[in-house]
């Protein structure tokens, strides 16, 4: 086994349980360690990998696979995913078991219900932050970007059609009106 | 209210899925998952397959958010376990990550070919705007279907403001607003 793959595994294992708030919350720490301390990746490669992982479909956490692959090939890819996902899988499993066992408990019910508004509020925040980041370019382009975002939000809110249509439409409008 | 029953104005839930159906649903959600796979997982399990009510899903996601790691990944473990035990958790998790991983690694390997193509950049820019709108629209859709009382709407909006405008770290938001929200639920009589 590639010794770097073991390093990768241990690094992501250490980071895994600290990543409260998802992989995005841990990205600054990944950058510090992977680019600044260990010099495994250049700043440019790190940024490009992050941009690709954000633009690609699926959970952004797969960015760790890009890091693992760059550092130690396919072994590094597997090591990074197992190291980063493994501990959170076990913890989520344990919590699910606990909540199922305490299913009738009124305090647990209140806790679960109480986290709902925060969860929905944070989804809205994610949308607003990414909308602000996507509203870039000239004044006209910012207006187009905001119009795509608004139209897409209303479409998803009010209709039951798949959001894939609004994503495709957004891409095609971007092709002609954005850069 | 029994754990798995739909609210009276929603059609009844479908029977619990096995590992294969879980894998298929999460694989589709992962592959479609532009702009956040949680939006697509919600669509799959609440609206398309009707395995969970809006409230059940929001509660699972809320728990997943408190735990470390990707909240949609935690939700996959918990939803998979609920319906099909350990095999269900592995199936949902595998489905969620496997497809997008292939797509992402293909992009990484091919990127130099089209990194400088302005049309690709323009298409991706438009798609990013639409994905942001999709996430905003989903938050409104969930809120509309959950019909929270005004004090919980206020708490949700405070979480939004803290995260989006003031960039408060997520653990702080959950630690401060979580207890306030739980207290509001208890005050209202146990339900959100």
pLDDT tens sequence across A157-166:
999 888 889 9
Q: Above 60 in pLDDT, residue B4?
A: no
Could you tell me the pTM of the whole model?
0.84
Alpha helices in B19-69 (DSSP H): 19-32, 37-42, 54-66
A21 lies in which domain range? Answer: 3-101
pLDDT computed for residue A48 by the predictor = 79
| Residue B1: closest C-alpha in chain A | A104
Q: How confident is the model at residue B9 (pLDDT cuts 50, 70, 90)?
A: low
Rounded percentage of chain B residues whose pLDDT exceeds 90: 59
Residue A106 belongs to a domain: no
Q: Is the dihedral of CA B156, B162, B165, B167 positive or negative?
A: negative
Q: Is B4 on the interface with A (CB under 8 A)?
A: no
pLDDT(B97) > 90: yes
- Token pair, residue A106, equals 């009124």
- Name which residue leads in pLDDT, B9 or B145: B145
Q: Which of A51, A82, A101 is the last residue of a domain?
A: A101
Question: What are the structure tokens assigned to B96, written together?
Answer: 């969620």
Is the pLDDT higher at A55 or at B50? B50
CB atoms within 10 A of CB B113: 9
Boundary residue ending a domain (A101, A123, A158): A101
Amino acid B190: pLDDT: 64
- Are A73 and A119 within one domain? no
A82 and A131 share a domain?
no
Which residue in A113, A144, A149, A151 has the most chain B C-beta atoms within 10 A of its own C-beta, making it the best mutation to test that interface?
A113
Q: Kindly report the nearest CA distance between residue B42 and chain A, in angstroms.
A: 12
pLDDT at B80: 97
Return the top range by mean pLDDT from A26-40, A94-108, B76-90, B163-177: B76-90
- What would you measure as the largest C-alpha separation in chain A, in angstroms? 56
What ipTM was reported for this prediction?
0.84
User: Residue B7 — pLDDT band, cuts 50, 70, 90?
Assistant: low
**pLDDT tens, residue by residue, B100-120:** 999 999 988 887 677 678 888
Number of domains making up chain A: 2
**Among A77, A101, A125, where does a domain finish?**
A101
A64 belongs to a structural domain:
yes
Query: A130-175, pLDDT tens digit by residue?
Result: 898 888 889 999 999 999 999 999 999 999 888 889 989 999 999 9
Do A94 and A141 belong to one domain?
no
pLDDT reported for residue B192: 44
Q: Indicate if A84 and A126 belong to the same structural domain.
A: no
Residues of A whose CB is below 8 A from B124: 55, 171, 174
Q: First vs last Cα of chain B: how many Å apart?
A: 13
> Best interface-test mutation with A: which of B108, B128, B162, B168 has the largest number of A CBs within 10 A?
B128
Q: Looking at the partner chain, which of A69, A118, A166 has a beta carbon nearest the beta carbon of B159?
A: A118
Mean pLDDT for the stretch of residues B170-180 = 88
Residue B138 pLDDT exceeds 60:
yes
Residue A166 lies in a domain: yes
Q: Is A20 helix (H, G, I), strand (E, B) or coil?
A: strand
The pLDDT of A53-69, averaged and rounded, is 88
In chain B, the residue whose alpha carbon lies closest to the alpha carbon of A68 is: B105
pLDDT given at position A81: 95
């Amino acid at each position: 086994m590639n010794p770097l793959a073991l390093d990768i595994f241990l690094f992501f294992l250490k980071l895994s349980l600290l990543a409260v708030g998802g992989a995005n919350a841990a990205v600054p720490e990944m950058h510090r360690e992977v680019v600044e301390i260990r010099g495994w990746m250049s700043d440019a490669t790190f940024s490009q990998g992050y941009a690709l992982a954000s633009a690609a479909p699926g959970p952004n956490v797969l960015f760790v696979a890009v890091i693992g692959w760059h550092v130690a090939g396919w072994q590094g890819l597997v090591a990074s995913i197992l190291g980063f996902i493994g501990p959170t899988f076990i913890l989520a499993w344990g919590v699910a078991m606990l909540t199922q066992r305490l299913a009738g408990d009124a305090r647990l019910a209140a806790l679960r219900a109480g986290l709902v508004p925060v969860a929905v509020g944070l989804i809205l925040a994610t949308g607003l932050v990414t909308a602000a980041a996507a509203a870039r370019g000239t004044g006209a382009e910012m207006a187009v970007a905001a119009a795509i975002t608004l139209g897409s939000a209303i479409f998803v809110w009010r209709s039951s059609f798949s959001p894939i249509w609004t994503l495709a439409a957004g891409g095609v409008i971007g092709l002609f009106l954005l850069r | 209210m029994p754990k798995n029953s739909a609210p009276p104005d929603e059609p009844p839930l479908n029977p619990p899925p096995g590992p294969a159906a879980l894998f298929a649903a999460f694989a589709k959600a992962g592959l479609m998952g532009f702009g956040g796979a949680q939006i697509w997982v919600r669509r799959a399990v609440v609206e398309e397959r009707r395995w969970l009510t809006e409230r059940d899903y929001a509660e699972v996601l809320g728990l997943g958010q408190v735990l470390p790691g990707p909240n949609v990944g935690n939700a996959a473990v918990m939803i998979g376990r609920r319906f099909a035990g350990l095999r269900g958790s592995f199936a949902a998790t595998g489905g969620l990550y496997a497809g997008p991983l292939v797509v992402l690694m293909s992009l990484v390997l091919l990127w130099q070919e089209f990194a400088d193509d302005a049309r690709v950049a323009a298409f991706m820019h438009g798609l990013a705007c639409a994905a942001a709108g999709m996430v905003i629209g989903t938050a409104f859709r969930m809120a509309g279907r959950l019909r929270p009382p005004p004090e919980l709407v206020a708490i949700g909006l405070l979480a939004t403001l803290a995260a989006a405008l003031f960039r408060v770290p997520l653990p702080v938001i959950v630690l401060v607003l979580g207890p306030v929200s739980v207290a509001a639920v208890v005050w209202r009589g146990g339900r959100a």
